[in-house]
Amino acid sequence: MGDNTAKLLGLHHVQLAMPTGEEEAAVRFYGAILGLTQVDKPPELAPRGGVWFRDGDLEVHLGVEEPEFAPARKAHPAFLVRNLATLRERIETAGYRVTDDVPLEGYHRCHVRDPFGNRIELVEPVSS
C-alpha cells in the first residue's frame, strides 16, 4: 500500500475581492506597483469580470464580489518579497499607506491595503 498521508504542497492562488468595473485600478496596483504580470482568465470565467495576475507559481485572482462587496477583514495574502524597502517606497510614492507589523524573528513585515480594501502583507526574510 502506498502512503496516503495528506500534505499541503504550497499556495496555488489567492482570491481577493474587487467591485465591478475596477479592473484598471487592479492593473495599476498589482501590475505597475507590485510587479505581477496580468494573465488571461479562462474564457468561461471572463464574463464574471475581475482580473488575474501571476508571478512564478503564485496567482492572484481578483474576483467581483457584489452586490454586498466587502473585502476580507482578517484573511489576507502574505507575499514573500525581495528589496522590501524599495517596494515600500514605490507603494508609498503611489499614494498608499504602508503600516509596520509586529516583528517576527527572521522577517521584516509591513501591510498595505489595495484600492479595494484587501489587506496585503509583504514579508522579506532577513539576510543572515
Domain residue extents for the chain? 13-125
Q: Does residue 61 contact residue 50 with C-beta atoms inside 8 Å?
A: yes
CA 79 centroid distance within chain: 7
The CATH classification number of 13-125 equals: 3.10.180.10
Q: Nearest to residue 14, comparing CAs of 46, 61, 54?
A: 61
Predicted pLDDT at 88: 94
Q: Which residues pair with 24 in a beta bridge?
A: none
- Kindly report, residue by residue over 27-77, the tens digit of the pLDDT: 999 999 999 999 998 888 888 889 999 998 888 999 887 666 666 666 788
The amino acid sitting at 65 is E
Q: Is the peptide bond before 67 cis (omega within 30 degrees of 0)?
A: yes
Q: How confident is the model at residue 101 (pLDDT cuts 50, 70, 90)?
A: confident
The cell 504580470 sits on which residue?
Answer: 37
Which residues, in sequence order, are CB contacts of 88 under 8 Å at separation 6+?
98, 110, 122
